Structure 1
Amino acid sequence: MKTTGDQQLVKRINRSVLLRLLRIQPGLSRAQLAQESGLTKSTVSLLVRELIDEAWITESDTVNAKGAGRPSTPLQIDGRTRALVGVEVAVDVLRVACVSLAGKILWSTEEPRQGMEPVEVCQQIACLVARAHELLLSWGLQLTGLGVGLPGAFDETTGKVHFASNLGWWNVDFLPLFTAALKQVKLPPMPVYVQNEADTAALSEYEFVEGTPSDSLIFVTCDVGVGAGIVLNDRLFTGQYGGAGEIGHGILQINGPLCSCGRRGCAETFFGARTLDKLTDPSSGGNYLGVVLANLWTTFDPSVLIVGGPSCAKYPGLITRAQETLKAYSAGARMPAPPVRPARYGLLASAVGAAALVLHRQLRPMQAPTGYATNPGAPVSEDTL
């Protein structure tokens, strides 16, 4: 006999299946959703009605009239009522983006980080989110959830930042501080998700893509720190404690330059922003970036490599040099390397991806840990997926 909890989980899974199908194939009818999902027509009809009532999806004004049967109504994700907010905590600045469910940027802002201490950073983020929330309300939009990208290893199971060396943070209980700051600015309870900023950047390319996304991609972000967001088999690969993708602290030279993490010879010391700014030819750092891309290629065999971040915006030749280096390794191995391209959202990649993190977690109820509400101890709203 199934319990109520079991039934609610099955319902959430079925709802997420329909939403994911419509994100990949906008315009499917109820009958087509039933065929694609394997659910019964009655179940699909009931769930579609709920999703329409909750402004997750909408019916198209046009109808499909094929054959002698009853005309069908195309369905699509509703981008008119719900919105997401994403925040990137960079080393020197904070970036915030309001994003539609389809990945359209509705509003964004950037401001210098005003303090170094975790409490100060949390309070500044909370004020920015409150500002974004007020704008969304004025536009008649409902804030569905909040995502945050941090430059360090974040452990979802504990809500702790294990290390963010460029912020000077080690073993910071980030989630309690952040939820307390959100409560102080009187934001309503909502799901809150946190992840490494390179991971969120990867989701900007994975969740907000037309058609079926690649089954694997890697996003390399180049700033003061260097990191990689890795998507494999439809989920983020974050490692045991959230440290996967910390490629900036992979060793490129034994006993090389001293890194902010305390080790020597890390990749960050060869093409991190502080190093690039000192070079006569900053694009030469792309040679080392190309080596890292080659290592990521041979380790994960991704469909595509994406490179972004402030260093790429400041020094466009960085990506070009990295592509040339990767091409040389590819030729030597006589194997085709994956394509390398710049980030679609530019400097907002991590912030937009933090918004995408909300969808990524909510549309995968069997994979995702429970989201955090803005009020510590409060449950995540049941109308989320």
Structure 2
Amino acid sequence: MPVTGDHQLLKQLNRMALVRQVSTQPGLSRASLAEVLGLTKSTVSMLVRELMDEGWLVERDLIATGDVGRRATPLHLDPGRLALLGAEIGVDEVRVVATNLLGEVLDMRVLPYDESRDPAHCIELAAAGLLRLARRLGSGAGGGGARRVLGIGVGLHGGVDEMLGVLRYAPHLGWRNVDVDEQLRAHFAGTALEGLPLYMQNEANVAALAEFEFTGQSGTDPLVYLSIGYGVGAGVIVGDNLLTGLNGFAGEVGHAILQENGPVCSCGRRGCADALIGLASLPGMEKPSRAALERLVEQVAQGQHEACAAVAAAGGQLGVLLNNLWVAFDPMAIVIGGPALRLGDALVEPACRVLAAYADAAMLSAPELRTSRFGADAVAIGAAALARHRLTRPLDLQSMARRTDKAGRHKPAYFLQ
């Protein structure tokens, strides 16, 4: 329901504050929530009742406190009645998932492209996959009863204008200025997904949100997610918010210069991280594909000198980039993800050695370094996390809607929910 006044906005802010608090601290009682959020007990009770009726929250077993009177009832996110949809429109394929509010995967499909250079075909494939998942959720397929879809997120491989839903440039697909939002909405017209909240962001950004929203790591802030695929990108979370920059292109660390007068990058500069670390820079990857990556993985496993030396060199440059991200953001954790992790220790160990050497030289402790918990599904699950992240932060949506209006394009009313 659109917000039409300050009272409704305040109520929605309080509702979603309750949801976020229960997500961060599962098991809180109504009284504890009132104390933490500075709300009256009667307000919390009313809002909790609404959220339980809608499927956001659920009560669990009573807590024995030892006090006289009614015992506290712990609240948790309800995993059983609502769903989020996420899609990765990738370089080789579309990957779509349905998750519950906790990020647990309910259903998933992987759909290879017939022609990756045709954005309309790839977007249509993503829409078809999302619609199929929505139909299964609505019918209760897989058990557990029918679920209501709250929103849809999309992860895209390139620079994204989230306010307009436009993919500005995807270098490894060759796409420019593709209105993904408009095309998806056209495919959703007349279906169960018509009018639902739809959000999109760069693939590294949504993968960062998967780690932040769905792993109990909300206390890990700042958080940097480094995605290493055919190129290199980063998603950065600071102060509970995704850092997107003035034009939405923050985190394009693939074009940070690591080596003066180094190899030429696709952007025209020399010595970029993309040209030194990205899979497209490695032997046999002139035309990046999953098959080419698997051949490289096999060559490294067999100990072929050229492949091993190239991957080790890329790992050393990765360590330099990790150091630069550390000093730039001082994160609690850096998470490494993306297809390049198929190379395993051959890539990661040299990076860890370089980062440790920098830390020793500075007599400092490097941030926690770990790999993604979601593997190949990180972007698709992260897209679902993007939907939850935006829906539970109404002020962010209002700010985005105002900026979009100034840019001359209307955003749907759900941006003011």
Structure 1 pair 184–42 and aligned structure 2 pair: CA distance change class (3 A): closer
Pairing 1:270–2:276 present? yes
> Which range moved further: 275-284 or 143-152?
275-284
How far apart are residue 61 of structure 1 and its match? 3.7
How far apart are residue 313 of structure 1 and its match? 2.0
TM-score, length basis structure 2: 0.85
Contact 1:84 1:101 in 2 (8 A): yes
Amino acid at match of 1:263: R
Question: Structure 2: where are the runs of 5+ without partners?
Answer: 141-145, 285-305, 405-409
Match of 1:161 in 2: 167
- d(CA) in 2 for partners of 1:272, 1:215: 26
Q: Please list the CA deviations of residues 259-314 of structure 1 after superposition, one character each: whole Å capped at 9, or x if unmatched.
A: 23333322111121122344521243111111111111111111101101111124
SS in 2 for 1:22: helix
Match of 2:326 among 276, 279, 297: 297
TM-score, length basis structure 1: 0.92
Contact 1:64 1:74 in 2 (8 A): no
Structure 1 pair 118–86 and aligned structure 2 pair: CA distance change class (3 A): same
- d(CA) in 1 for partners of 2:97, 2:312: 29
- d(CA) in 2 for partners of 1:315, 1:138: 40
Q: 1:1-385 alignment to 2 at 5 Å?
A: 4-115=4-115, 116-139=117-140, 140-183=146-189, 187-210=193-216, 212-278=218-284, 279-281=306-308, 282-368=311-397, 369-370=400-401, 378-380=412-414
Specify which structure has the higher proportion of helix: 2
How far apart are residue 320 of structure 1 and its match? 1.8
How far apart are residue 227 of structure 1 and its match? 0.5
- d(CA) in 2 for partners of 1:185, 1:68: 53
- d(CA) in 2 for partners of 1:336, 1:377: 45
Contact 1:223 1:310 in 2 (8 A): yes
Q: Please list the CA deviations of residues 129-162 of structure 1 after superposition, one character each: whole Å capped at 9, or x if unmatched.
A: 0111122123211111110111111112232222
> Which range moved further: 138-147 or 293-302?
138-147
Measured on the aligned residues, the alpha-carbon RMSD in Å equals 2.2
How far apart are residue 24 of structure 1 and its match? 1.3
Structure 1 pair 270–72 and aligned structure 2 pair: CA distance change class (3 A): same
Q: How many residues align?
A: 378
> Which range moved further: 319-328 or 363-372?
363-372
Structure 1 pair 316–189 and aligned structure 2 pair: CA distance change class (3 A): farther
- d(CA) in 2 for partners of 1:165, 1:78: 40
Amino acid at match of 1:280: A
SS in 2 for 1:349: helix
- d(CA) in 2 for partners of 1:381, 1:73: 33
How far apart are residue 33 of structure 1 and its match? 1.1
Amino acid at match of 2:75: L
Question: Structure 1: where are the runs of 5+ without partners?
Answer: none
- d(CA) in 2 for partners of 1:65, 1:298: 45
Q: Please list the CA deviations of residues 185-221 of structure 1 after superposition, one character each: whole Å capped at 9, or x if unmatched.
A: 6633211110000000001110112264212110001
SS in 2 for 1:207: helix
Amino acid at match of 2:136: L
Matched residues, percent identical?
Answer: 42
Q: Please list the CA deviations of residues 108-135 of structure 1 after superposition, one character each: whole Å capped at 9, or x if unmatched.
A: 2222233322222211110010111122
- d(CA) in 2 for partners of 1:318, 1:14: 45
> Which range moved further: 259-268 or 182-191?
182-191
Contact 2:232 2:254 in 1 (8 A): yes
